[in-house]
């Protein structure tokens, strides 16, 4: 006789609320530290602990009781009176021991050099934990994150010619920052993460969370299957389609009490090359509901504690404004230097002039993709408003027109002087992208002062020096103009003077002959 499955609504204990629901860390963490193939319980415990270590760095010990770990990881029992009990004991001790053996050896191996065969010749090891101590007697886990420097300070010049100093980075800073808006980080909900039935669902969820405000992402098959999903044994490789499909379906079915999908419009496409899988594509609507506290759950249906909406004026669409703020916070952070009343007022003003989807798109482009500040976002959106852009379709048409305008200018310049053809070929090779209208305007201004070939020579120097930015080229041209160099012949003469062979007198050569006879 088959026993009928009973649907039970499970409520979370009050103790659960004292732990952080949002797990947050630098995007560099999963790229640097491979935690290995943990089972689903080990993943719950590990990421719950890492979530509690966020912005809690101390050179001293940070302690977690076994009861706290069990509650964080969702390892609790609920009796008929709704009383909760941490599932600690002999079995839990073995889980902690197994996890200790795995985590205390987790480290980042930094490549130092390769041998002639291209194999690793030298590397440095940076551990994740400085201390990881288990005590069954005290029912306690003690940890300290490593303070090792895994990246030394270095200086670079950006595309605008600004000097940027990148400070040294220490391991604990992957989880501890004074200003999170200054780095790229990912975040996801601890409770939803721990509720997922499969370790593969958890891995897929963490991966998608990194792109929550993009609405799409992709990975080459080898990286996605081996590095992200850990499907790297013969048996798992054979069943990879099933494992990935089940993880995808579990995430797709998650919904809140109002029937809204936790990850809205989630879809997956697999690109093949021949018979082999080449790439995985994921698309979805931007999401943030997963960061809310889970009050109770029933299989795939979650009862969430919904966050209060931001206060806005009556003439502002509250939902659209809230969505923009979520993207704004994810890109620029919540620091009062950026998340202040003037900037919020600016967003409200935009909503009366341009669609929210365009605002979110530009925030992502200017912040995430170009590492610009919010001031640059303001300039870009103002230019779009001035150009009459309202919708995403308008934005696409605007960008197409700008591209076409640039293409027309390039054709006109080449028709006027064939030397431009070499110039634009070199420039595209340097930039690795199409030439912008701003650069075209600069080229036309410089062409009034110097020969076209002179601009090409400056680009070649930039390529030779591996400087792939237009600002560097402008610096060379400005120096030449200041020195009175405006023709290619002058540049050739300068180069010839540098490589002119040294003239040696006959007397010197005779002296050398005498010297050689002595020896």
How do the domains of the chain map onto residue ranges?
8-149, 318-390, 429-499
Pair of tokens at residue 515: 């010297």
Residue 517, pLDDT above cutoff 50: no
SS3 375: helix
160 touches 471 (CB < 8 A):
yes
pLDDT of residue 222: 93
DSSP 219: E
pLDDT of residue 227: 93
pLDDT of residue 393: 85
449 touches 481 (CB < 8 A):
yes
Give the integer Cα–Cα distance in Å for 86 and 98. Answer: 19
Pair of tokens at residue 97: 């021991």
What is the value of pTM for the model shown? Answer: 0.61
Give the integer Cα–Cα distance in Å for 136 and 85. Answer: 18
Residue 10, pLDDT above cutoff 50: no
Third-level CATH fold of 8-149: Arc Repressor Mutant, subunit A (1.10.10)
pLDDT of residue 518: 43
Three-state SS annotation for 274-320: CCEEEEEEEECCCCCHHHCEEEEEECCEEEEECCCCCCCCCCCCHHH
pLDDT digits (tens, 9 = 90+) for 18-37: 788 889 999 999 989 999 99
Give the integer Cα–Cα distance in Å for 236 and 231. Answer: 5
DSSP 336: T
In this prediction, residue 447 has a pLDDT band, given cuts at 50, 70 and 90, of very high
Percentage of the chain modeled with pLDDT above 70: 85
**Strand-pair partners of 304:** 294
Cα 152 from chain centre: 20
pLDDT of residue 405: 81
Same fold, 8-149 and 429-499: yes
Q: Please name which of 340, 395, 335, 328 lies closest in space to residue 367, comparing C-alpha atoms.
A: 328
CATH class of segment(s) 429-499? mainly alpha
Task: Summarize the confidence of residues 103-108 as an average pLDDT.
Answer: 89
**Strand-pair partners of 151:** 169
Residue 11, pLDDT above cutoff 70: no
Residue 2, pLDDT above cutoff 80: no
Q: Which of 71-85, 98-112, 136-150, 311-325 has the lowest mean pLDDT?
A: 311-325
Cα 228 from chain centre: 15
175 touches 16 (CB < 8 A):
no
pLDDT of residue 310: 44
510 touches 479 (CB < 8 A):
no
Tell me what percent of the chain is helix, strand and coil, each rounded to the nearest 5: 50, 20, 35
pLDDT digits (tens, 9 = 90+) for 485-505: 999 999 888 777 766 665 656
Q: Which of 10-14, 298-302, 351-355 has the lowest mean pLDDT?
A: 10-14
pLDDT greater at residue 118 or residue 234: 234
Give the integer Cα–Cα distance in Å for 86 and 142. Answer: 19
- The string of DSSP letters for 58-115 reads -SS-EEEEHHHHHHHTT-EEE-TT--EEE--SHHHHHHHHHHHHHHTT-EEEEEEEE-
Entry field: residues in the chain: 519
pLDDT digits (tens, 9 = 90+) for 321-354: 888 888 888 888 777 778 788 888 889 889 888 8
Torsion of CA 4, 9, 15, 17, to 10 degrees: 140
Question: Residue 58 contacts by C-beta under 8 Å, 6 or more apart in sequence?
Answer: 144
303 touches 33 (CB < 8 A):
no
In this prediction, residue 158 has a pLDDT band, given cuts at 50, 70 and 90, of low
Please count the other Cβ atoms lying within 10 Å of the Cβ belonging to residue 461.
14
**Strand-pair partners of 220:** 279
Give the integer Cα–Cα distance in Å for 195 and 191. Answer: 6
Residue 59, pLDDT above cutoff 70: no
Q: What is the mean pLDDT of the chain?
A: 83
In this prediction, residue 465 has a pLDDT band, given cuts at 50, 70 and 90, of confident
Phi, psi of 24 (to 5 degrees): -140, 135
Phi, psi of 347 (to 5 degrees): -65, -40
pLDDT digits (tens, 9 = 90+) for 223-272: 999 999 999 999 999 999 999 999 999 999 999 888 889 999 999 999 99
Residue 452, pLDDT above cutoff 50: yes
Give the integer Cα–Cα distance in Å for 215 and 326. Answer: 13
SS3 410: helix
């Amino acid at each position: 006789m088959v026993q009928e499955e009973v649907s039970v609504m499970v409520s979370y204990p009050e103790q659960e609320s004292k732990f952080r629901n949002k797990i947050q860390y630098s995007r560099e963490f999963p790229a640097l530290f491979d935690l290995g193939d943990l089972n689903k319980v080990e993943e719950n415990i590990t990421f719950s602990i890492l979530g509690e270590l966020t912005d809690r760095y101390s050179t001293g010990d940070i302690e977690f009781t076994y009861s706290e770990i069990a509650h964080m990881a969702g390892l609790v029992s609920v009796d008929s009176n709704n009383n909760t009990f941490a599932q600690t004991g002999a079995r839990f001790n073995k889980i902690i021991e197994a996890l200790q053996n795995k985590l205390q050896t987790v480290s980042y191996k930094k490549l130092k050099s390769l041998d002639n065969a291209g194999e690793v010749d030298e590397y440095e090891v940076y551990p994740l934990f400085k201390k990881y101590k288990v005590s069954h007697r005290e029912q306690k886990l003690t940890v300290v994150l490593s303070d090792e420097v895994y990246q030394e300070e270095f200086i670079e010049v950006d595309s605008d010619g600004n000097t940027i100093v990148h400070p040294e980075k220490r391991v604990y800073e992957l989880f501890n920052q004074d200003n999170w808006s200054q780095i790229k980080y990912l975040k996801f909900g601890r409770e939803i993460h721990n509720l997922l039935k499969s370790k593969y669902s958890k891995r897929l969820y963490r991966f998608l969370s990194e792109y929550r405000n993009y609405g799409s992402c992709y990975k080459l098959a080898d990286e996605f299957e081996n590095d992200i999903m850990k499907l790297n044994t013969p048996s798992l490789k054979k069943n990879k389609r099933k494992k990935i499909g089940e993880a995808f379906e579990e995430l797709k079915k998650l919904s809140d009490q109002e029937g809204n999908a936790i990850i809205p419009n989630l879809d997956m496409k697999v690109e093949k090359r021949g018979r082999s899988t080449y790439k995985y594509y994921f698309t979805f609507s931007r999401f943030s509901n997963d960061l809310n506290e889970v009050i109770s759950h029933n299989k795939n249906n979650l009862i969430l504690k919904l966050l209060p909406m931001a206060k806005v004026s009556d003439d502002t669409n509250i939902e659209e404004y809230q969505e923009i703020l979520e993207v704004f916070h994810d890109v620029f952070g919540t620091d009062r230097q950026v998340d202040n009343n003037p900037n919020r007022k600016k967003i409200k003003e935009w909503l009366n002039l341009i669609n929210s989807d365009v605002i979110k798109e530009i925030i992502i482009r200017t912040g995430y993709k170009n590492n610009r500040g919010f001031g640059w976002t303001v300039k870009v959106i103002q230019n779009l408003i001035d150009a009459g852009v309202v919708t995403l379709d308008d934005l696409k048409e605007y960008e197409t027109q700008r591209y076409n305008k640039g293409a027309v200018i390039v054709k006109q310049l080449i028709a006027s002087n064939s030397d431009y053809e070499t110039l634009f070929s070199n420039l595209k090779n340097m930039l690795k992208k199409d030439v912008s209208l701003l650069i075209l305007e600069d080229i036309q201004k410089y062409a009034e002062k110097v020969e076209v070939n002179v601009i090409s020579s400056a680009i070649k120097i930039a390529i030779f020096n591996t400087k792939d930015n237009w600002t560097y080229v402008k610096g060379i041209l400005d120096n030449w103009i200041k020195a009175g160099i405006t023709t290619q012949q002058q540049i050739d003469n300068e180069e010839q003077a540098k490589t002119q062979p040294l003239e040696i007198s006959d007397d010197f050569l005779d002296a050398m002959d005498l010297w050689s006879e002595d020896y």
